[in-house]
């Protein structure tokens, strides 16, 4: 039985680990639209997107949307995604300016790409793609226990100071262990160094 084009796209994009391509701002995780588009082009270079006309809501805020079409030869599939134009606190902006609209539109494109699999686990609140978790050959419970013990060890090093923590992160942890901890936790723990030294 021939697999569907949609499944081929998902199986191609969803296992890709995007953790080192994300940015963290005000507790939120962002994936660079330029990197996401570049990655999509590696696998499906015939893809294209349409920026739809923004919708002005009754309160003066705005919703942008894009339609992303992934194409390969005679196969193609399109998905529609929308996003409110928001400020840095993720609150809707009333009467947004062109810069706000542009940022929201490109974030919307990134979200549309994720609906095909690339970086989807970020929106699902996970730390690693499912494929990578399976590759670790541990159960969800073991994964959580491992992560907890790694975070505790890093916190202990942070209590000794920023230099000790940085050295431990760079020299004592494997790349896999650093991925399990995640950048959000690393930044949180780094804050402990500042709190202790002040």
pLDDT score of 144 = 78
Residue 2 pLDDT more than 70?
no
pLDDT score of 1 = 46
Residue 115 pLDDT more than 70?
yes
- d(CA 50, CA 1) in angstroms, rounded, equals 33
Residue 197 pLDDT more than 90?
no
Q: What are the residues facing 79 on neighbouring strands?
A: 68
- d(CA 34, CA 185) in angstroms, rounded, equals 25
Exposed, middle or buried: residue 115 (CB in 10 Å: 0-12, 13-18, 19+)?
Answer: middle
Residue-wise pLDDT for 56-108, tens only, equals 999 999 999 999 999 999 999 999 999 999 887 778 999 999 999 999 999 99
- d(CA 95, CA 21) in angstroms, rounded, equals 31
- Name the residue ranges covered by the structural domains of the chain: 5-123, 136-197
Residue 191's pLDDT band (cuts 50, 70, 90): confident
Tokens of 179: 């991925």
Residue-wise pLDDT for 136-183, tens only, equals 555 566 767 888 888 898 888 888 888 888 888 888 888 778 888 887
Full-model pTM: 0.62
Residues 94 and 60: beta-carbon distance below 8 Å: yes
pLDDT score of 47 = 97
What string of DSSP letters covers 90-104?
Answer: SPBPSS--HHHHHHH
144: Cβ contacts below 8 Å, ≥ 6 apart? none
pLDDT score of 159 = 87
Tokens of 127: 């730390």
Q: What are the residues facing 141 on neighbouring strands?
A: none
User: What percent of the chain lies above the pLDDT cut of 90?
Assistant: 45
Residue-wise pLDDT for 12-69, tens only, equals 999 988 887 877 666 566 788 999 999 999 999 999 999 999 999 999 999 999 999 9
């Amino acid at each position: 039985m021939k697999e569907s084009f949609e499944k081929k796209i998902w199986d191609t994009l969803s296992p890709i680990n995007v953790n080192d391509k994300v940015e963290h701002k005000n507790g939120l995780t962002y994936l660079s639209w330029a990197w996401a588009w570049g990655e999509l082009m590696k696998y499906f270079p015939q893809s294209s997107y349409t920026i739809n006309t923004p919708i002005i809501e009754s309160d003066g805020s705005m919703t942008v949307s894009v339609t992303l079409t992934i194409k390969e030869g005679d196969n193609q599939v399109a998905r529609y995604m929308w996003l409110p134009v928001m400020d840095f606190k993720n609150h809707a902006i009333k009467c947004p300016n062109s810069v706000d609209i542009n940022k929201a539109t490109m974030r919307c494109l990134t979200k549309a790409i994720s609906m095909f699999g690339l970086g989807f686990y970020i929106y699902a609140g996970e730390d690693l793609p499912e494929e990578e978790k399976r590759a670790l050959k541990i159960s969800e419970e073991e994964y959580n226990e491992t992560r907890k013990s790694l975070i505790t060890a890093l916190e202990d090093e942070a209590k000794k100071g920023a230099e000790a923590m940085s050295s431990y992160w760079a020299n004592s942890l494997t790349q896999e262990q650093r991925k399990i901890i995640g950048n959000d936790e690393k930044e949180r723990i780094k804050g402990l160094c500042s709190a202790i030294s002040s």
